[in-house]
Amino acid sequence: MNAISKPAFDVARIRADFPILAEKIRGKDLVFLDSAASAQKPRVVIDAMVHAMEHQYANVHRGLHWMSERTTEAYEDVRDSIARLLNAPDRSNIVITANSTASFNLVAQSYGRSVLKPGQAVLISQMEHHANLVPWQMLRDASGVELRIAPITDAGELDMAAYEALLADGKVGLVSVTHMSNVLGTYTPAERIIQIAHAHGARVMLDASQSVVHRRIDVQALDVDFLAFTGHKLYGPTGIGVLYAKRELLEAMPPVNGGGDMISSVSYERSTWAQVPHKFEAGTPAILEGIGLNAAIKYVEAIGFDAIAAHEATLTEHALARLSAIEGLTIIGHPQDRGGVISFTLKGAHAHDVATLLDRQGIAVRAGHHCAEPLMHRLGLESTARASFGLYTTMAEIDALADTLDQVRVFFK
């Protein structure tokens, strides 16, 4: 390992920022390898939310009093932070939602039912999370928009030739694909995907739920049309997510939820909508969660994505080497460009049994279909175990996983 070329990354100092990592599981150190499902929270996020509740809280966007004005400022600051994180042209490109799933449903129900027409198609890939599949199925069934599925290769990468062929007839109005698979760890070639789609007249939505945690995303450089991520995987709270979209798309899209906060004026005859992005944000928003996500974004920005990406690469390389050396263990997928999400099977042991045995040693992994049943079917699997890494993951934790898996293998032999 060339330590000089890699940015400084003090994992011990980072771990001290996450109070939960001091917890013991049945007397053993917590080895948390399930950050792809939801990440742990640093002290600054916890403190920001508690501080708001203790010192600075009221409803936003409506009060003419000190508390409401201060809370509105604190909450709305997250929109600037998200815009900065993604290099969005403007804060008005950022719609705050409940999570990635809500972002996909918003695009499917608004853009999908107004701009897309029957006879047009939505193209997704074979390695999508259910969040980027089911909303499009619902759109298909309700509006007659076709749903196409781009295959993946046995290595676990998007089959780019097949992808381009599925766009060839010009019927695809929207491509919606993952930027990083939550099962295989594959980073998809977003720039090429977008270039090819645009050349065929299709817009592109990226599922950045996993990728935004590990890599710098520049929506302008990518020229992506829509992008979704969720706060709780980025070390922020649950209940808050993001939809980035180009301004002209948001302008053309009708609101899905009606109510307070999304209107310009209301009478019994008709109502008019607030400006973008507020017309998509009906009701009191997730105020505390916005304040928490803002703290989380500032926290990862202070560490820096060069350091974060290098740490992830080092961990992934080590994990692939250690896990692949275990007898009977199969790593699922071997994409060229991959990150810190590794699915595997162990011969003779079901993934749930593997997870239960690992849990007895304080090691938390995910087991099951990972909300990607069609992908499991494509891979010829029922379920896998999955280890995923975060800022606070250490090489020693990966060694603990590998050493324990070797004992699991013996147990089920």
Say if residue 40 is exposed, middle or buried (CB neighbours under 10 Å; 0-12, 13-18, 19+): buried
Task: Assess 137 for contact with other proteins (CB under 8 A).
Answer: no
User: Which residue type does 75 have?
Assistant: Y
| Closer of 80 and 359 to other proteins (Cβ) | 359
DSSP secondary structure string, 137-186?
HHHHHHH--EEEEE-B-TTSSB-HHHHHHHHTTS-EEEEEEESB-TTT-B
Q: Write the CA distances from 22 to 30, 260, 303, integer angstroms.
A: 7, 42, 21
**129 part of the interface to other proteins, by CB under 8 A:** no
Q: Is residue 361 a contact residue for other proteins (CB under 8 A)?
A: yes
In sequence order, which ranges of 200-328 are alpha helices (DSSP H)? Answer: 211-214, 219-222, 247-252, 287-303, 305-324
327 lines the binding site for other proteins (CB under 8 A): no
Active-site residues: which are they? 371
386 in Cβ contact with 370 (< 8 Å): yes
Contact 41, 235 (CB under 8 A): yes
- Per CB under 8 A, does 29 bind other proteins? no
Please report how many Cα atoms fall inside a 13 Å half-sphere around the Cα of residue 277, on the Cβ side. Answer: 22
Query: In this chain, which of 19, 89, 260, 348 binds other proteins, going by CB under 8 A?
Result: 348
Q: Give whichever of 138 and 364 is closer to other proteins, judged by the CB atom.
A: 364
**What strands, in cross-sheet order, belong to the sheet with 329-331?**
329-331, 341-346, 384-388, 366-368
Q: Give the closest residue to 406 by CA, choosing from 354, 367, 366.
A: 354
**144 near other proteins, judged by CB under 8 A:** no
Distance between CA atoms of 263 and 275, rounded to whole angstroms?
8
Report the residue from 220, 272, 284, 356 that binds other proteins according to the rule CB under 8 A.
356
Least distance from other proteins to the Cβ atom of residue 128, Å? 16
Q: How far is CA 154 from CA 79, 217, 317, 367, in A?
A: 40, 27, 20, 21
CB 58 within 8 Å of CB 71: yes
Q: Does 212 bind other proteins (CB under 8 A)?
A: no
Output 94 or 363, the one with its CB closest to other proteins: 363
Residue 40, phi then psi, degrees to nearest 5: -75, 165
Q: Of the ranges 37-45, 211-219, 274-282, 357-365, which one interacts with other proteins (CB under 8 A)?
A: 357-365
- Tell whether residue 38 is a contact of other proteins (CB under 8 A): no
CB of 199 vs other proteins, minimal distance in Å: 38
Which of these segments, 155-163, 257-265, 267-275, 351-359, binds other proteins (CB under 8 A)?
Answer: 351-359
Read off φ and ψ for residue 305, nearest 5 degrees. Answer: -75, -20
Nearer to other proteins, 118 or 380 (CB): 380
Q: Does 318 bind other proteins (CB under 8 A)?
A: no
In DSSP terms, which residues pair with 327 in a beta bridge?
Answer: none
* Comparison of 25 and 282: residue with beta carbon closer to other proteins: 25
Residue 76 contacts other proteins per CB under 8 A: no
Q: Using CB under 8 A, which residues numbered 371 to 410 contact other proteins?
A: 373, 376, 382-383, 404, 407-408
Q: Which stretch binds other proteins (CB under 8 A): 14-22, 101-109, 157-165, 352-360?
A: 352-360
> What tokens does 108 get?
């499917």
Strands 94-97 and 121-125: unpaired
Interface with other proteins (CB under 8 A), residue total: 22
Cβ closest to other proteins, residue 164 vs residue 359: 359
Q: Whole-number minimum distance, CB 23 to other proteins, in Å?
A: 18
Which listed range, 41-49, 160-168, 306-314, 360-368, lies at the site for other proteins (CB under 8 A)? 360-368
412 contributes a contact to other proteins by CB under 8 A: yes
Minimum Å gap between C-beta 379 and other proteins is 13
Classified as helix, coil or strand, 301 is: helix
95 binds other proteins (CB under 8 A): no
Q: Is 364 an interacting residue with respect to other proteins (CB under 8 A)?
A: no
Residues that bind other proteins (CB under 8 A): 348-353, 356-357, 360-361, 367-369, 373, 376, 382-383, 404, 407-408, 411-412
